[in-house]
Each structure stands twice: as structure tokens, then as C-alpha cells.
Amino acid sequence: MVKEQGEWIRRFETASDRAVRVVCLPHAGGSATYFRPLAAALASTAEVLAVQYPGRMDRISEPYVADFAELTERTLAAVRREADRPLVLFGHSMGALLGFQVAKHLEAEGTPPLALFASGARPPHQSLPRHTRPQSDEELIADLAVLDGTDERVLNHPELRALVLSALRADYRMLQSHRRDDSVLTCPIVSLTGSGDPVVSIHDAGEWAPRTTGRFGLHVFVGKHFYLDDHWAGVGEVVADHLAADGTSRTA
């Protein structure tokens, strides 16, 4: 994976002639590497990039972003630099809320994304899930077990557990500055969710529909909040099918 200018964007291949770029936005506590399987699933369809938030992985020495509006602004600046080709935004959980804000700004600037894929998230006009409120280490670990998104071996390793909880707590704290938003995009929105997600019901996932005047799609996969871990190929098919329907899944 190659570092990019400004340290915000990560690529999963050194060069690509794909006509479309899929920019992935991680969940709270997450990192760019989470989306490596999606890059593999879309290898013949699109170039997959991912945002690396400060304070984790190779940016661990940098301070966490403390305000959601600041995260939006800094992510937007990085995404703009990739807009020499058509863009698709793919955000999971917190990343979906971030993707909505980035898409809104891009539309206001006259460079709308081809689509927003909102995964495992309530829409921005709803309240945040209860688990994003400040919690003790024990409560955070219990929630991670319910969400089924962190390897138990990581949580049993003191140093790794400390890193995971530090990033997660920082992102949850930042999310408290997120404000409900009933804005409406013009680009299509595709909502994806797990059938047994304990924090995002299928009904919640469907409530992304009013957030666009464009096409809306809802795809439900078997699984919990991190259903993607078992369905990367299927998620890639959803993205590829959408691009094919728009006639954009071709090489440049």
C-alpha cells in the first residue's frame, strides 16, 4: 500500500487504469486496511482507495481529530485530489455519515460523486446509536463483542487492546459533535446492512431513501454490524452492478 500526499489516502495498488475510483471511509476505530478485501473484489472494476484517519496504524503518532466537522473538511480536501476521475464513496458505520457530508460538499461544488454506498449506518437525520456515548473500557469491550467486529485475540493482548480502545473512544467522542442532518443529495444512495445488526435495523437502513432525489437501493446480508467480513465478494458485486448499470465500469 502506497502512502499519498497529505497522508490521508491509501492505495491498494501502485497504478490503475480503471475509469472509476471507489473511496472508502472506515468505521469508528477503524483503519484503511479494513477495505483491502473490497479492493480485491473490485480489482477488475474500479480502483479502490481508502482514507486513513490520524491516530492509527502508520499515523499513530498524530493526534486524533476531535471534531466531526474538521474530519469532514480534512477528508474532503483529500478526496478532492482524487476527483480527476469519477468517484464513488463507500463508508461503513461512522464512515457512512462522513461519506454523506463529503458527498454533500462535492455536490455543492459541482463535482457530485457517482453514488454513496452507506454501510451499517443509520441515516444522518437519525440520532446516533447509544453505544457511541462515552464508556468505560469494560463497556467498550462488551459492545465490541456484541458488534462482532474485533478479533478476540486482539482484545486479549494488552497493548493491542489499548490501541483499539484508544482509537475507538476518540472517534466516539468526536461523533458527539455530529449534528443531525436532513439534507438531500442528488446522487444515488445504496444502503447495505447486516440482517442481525444490533445497532442498525433493516428499517433504519431503509431510512436512507429520503436522503436522495436519485435512485435508492437497499441490500441486506446475513450477519451483524460487520457483516462485510463474510461478504466482501457480495458487497463488491453490489458496487460493480451499480457501476455497470450506470455504464461506468470500464477502463480509462
pLDDT at 103: 98
Q: Is 127 a catalytic residue?
A: no
pLDDT band at 1 (very low <50, low <70, confident <90, very high): very low
pLDDT value for 183 = 97
Residue type, 228: L
Which sign, positive or negative, has the C-alpha torsion 242, 247, 248, 252? positive
> Whole-angstrom Cα distance, residue 116 to residue 181?
16
Respond yes or no: is residue 31 known to be catalytic. no
Task: Note the pTM of the prediction, 2 decimals.
Answer: 0.92
- In DSSP terms, 87 is beta-bridged to 21
pLDDT digits (tens, 9 = 90+) for 172-227: 999 999 999 999 999 999 999 999 999 999 999 999 999 999 999 999 999 999 99
Q: What is the largest CA-CA distance in the chain?
A: 50
The predicted-structure confidence for 64-117, as pLDDT tens digits, reads as follows: 999 999 999 999 999 999 999 999 999 999 999 999 999 999 999 999 999 999
List the catalytic residue out of 225, 231, 242, 249: 225
Q: Which residues lie below 8 Å from residue 225, measured CB to CB, with a gap of 6+?
A: 93, 120, 147, 148, 149, 194, 197, 198, 199, 200
- Give the residue extent of every domain in the chain: 2-130+180-245
- The CB-side HSE value for 108 (13 A sphere, CA atoms) comes to 9
Q: Which CATH superfamily is domain 2-130+180-245 in?
A: Alpha/Beta hydrolase fold, catalytic domain (3.40.50.1820)
What's the CA gap between 174 and 178, in Å, rounded? 7
Given 93, 119, 191, 249, the catalytic residue: 93
Closest CA to 63 of 158, 166, 150: 166
> Residue 163 — φ and ψ, nearest 5°?
-65, -45
Tell the burial category of 136 from Cβ atoms under 10 Å away from its Cβ (0-12, 13-18, 19+): exposed
Which helix (H) or strand (E) element contains residue 244?
A: helix 232-245
The string of pLDDT tens digits covering residues 116-151 is 999 999 999 999 877 666 678 888 888 887 777 666
